[in-house]
Amino acid sequence: MNQDHITLEFPKIIAQLQELAVSQPARDELAQLTPSMEEAVCLARMEATTAARRVLDAAGSPPLAIMDGLEAAVTESTLGGMLTPEQLTGVMSFAVSCRRMSAYLSGVAGQSAGIAAYRMELPDLADLCRDIEASIREDKVLDEASTLLRDLRRRHENLEVALRDKLNRILQSRKQYLADSYITTRAGRYVLPVQKKFQSAFGGTAVDVSAKGTTVFMEPASIAPLRQELESIALMADEEERRILYALSDRVAEAEPAIRRGMRLMTELDALFAKAKLSQQMDARPAALTPEKHFLLHNARHPLLDREKAVPLNFHMEGDTVGVVITGPNTGGKTVCVKTVGLLCLMAQCGLHIPADEGCVVPLRDAFLCDIGDSQSIAQNLSTFSGHMTNVIRILDHTSRDSLVLLDELGSGTDPAEGMGIAVAVLGELRRRGCLFLVTTHYPQVKVWAETTPGVMAARMAFDRQTLAPLYRLELGKSGESCALDIARRLGLPEVLIAGASEAAYGTPAAPQPALPIPRSQLKRHIVKQVGDFPTFTMGDSVSIAPDGVKGIVYRPADDRGEVIVQVQGKKLPVRHTRLTLLVPAAQLYPEDYDFAIIFDTVENRKADHLMSRKFDPDAVIIHQEGKQTE
How far apart (Å, rounded) are the C-alpha atoms in residues 252 and 82?
A: 10
pLDDT at site 611: 65
CB neighbour list of residue 20: distance below 8 Å, 6 or more residues apart? 274, 277, 278, 281
Residue 631 has pLDDT above 50, yes or no: no
Residue 623 burial (CB count, 10 A):
9
pLDDT at site 36: 95
List, in order of start, the domains of the chain with CATH numbers.
3-125+255-281 (1.10.1420.10), 147-224 (no CATH), 288-490 (3.40.50.300), 542-614 (2.30.30)
The phi, psi pair for 397, rounded to 5°, reads -70, -20
Residue 173 burial (CB count, 10 A):
9
User: What is the side-by-side strand order in the sheet with 436-440?
Assistant: 367-371, 403-407, 436-440, 323-327, 456-464, 469-476
Given 3-state DSSP classes, what are the helix, strand and coil percentages for the chain, each rounded to the nearest 5? 45, 20, 35
pLDDT at site 619: 59
Higher-pLDDT residue of 214 and 375 is: 214
What is this structure's pTM?
0.72
CB neighbour list of residue 323: distance below 8 Å, 6 or more residues apart? 427, 430, 431, 436, 437, 438, 439, 450, 455, 456, 457
> Highest mean pLDDT range out of 189-203, 325-339, 354-368?
354-368
How far apart (Å, rounded) are the C-alpha atoms in residues 397 and 403?
A: 12
pLDDT at site 178: 87
Question: Tell me: the pLDDT tens digits for 373-386?
Answer: 755 443 443 457 78
Burial of 188 (0-12, 13-18, 19+ CB in 10 A): exposed
Residue 388: closest CA among 356, 363, 435, 423: 423
Residue 186 has pLDDT above 80, yes or no: yes
The SS3 call for residue 352 is coil
Region at 311 (left for phi over 0; alpha for psi -120 to 50; beta for the rest) = beta
How far apart (Å, rounded) are the C-alpha atoms in residues 58 and 318?
A: 36
Question: Tell me: the pLDDT tens digits for 391-429?
Answer: 899 999 999 999 999 998 887 777 778 888 888 999 999
Residue 430 has pLDDT above 50, yes or no: yes
The dihedral of CA 100, 104, 107, 113: what is its sign?
negative
Write the DSSP symbol of residue 297.
Answer: E
Question: Tell me: the pLDDT tens digits for 306-351?
Answer: 888 888 999 999 888 999 999 876 666 888 899 999 999 999 999 9
Question: Tell me: the pLDDT tens digits for 228-267?
Answer: 899 899 999 999 999 999 999 999 999 999 999 999 999 9
The SS3 call for residue 495 is helix
Residue 532 has pLDDT above 80, yes or no: no
The SS3 call for residue 475 is strand
Long-range contacts of residues 202-211, Cβ cutoff 8 Å, at least 24 apart: 202/174, 202/177, 210/179
Residue 56 in contact with residue 277, Cβ under 8 Å?
yes
How far apart (Å, rounded) are the C-alpha atoms in residues 260 and 263?
A: 5
Gyration radius of the chain over CA positions: 47
pLDDT bucket at 527, cuts 50 / 70 / 90: low
pLDDT at site 265: 97
Residue 189: closest CA among 168, 169, 206, 172: 206
pLDDT at site 630: 35
Q: What is the mean pLDDT of the chain?
A: 87
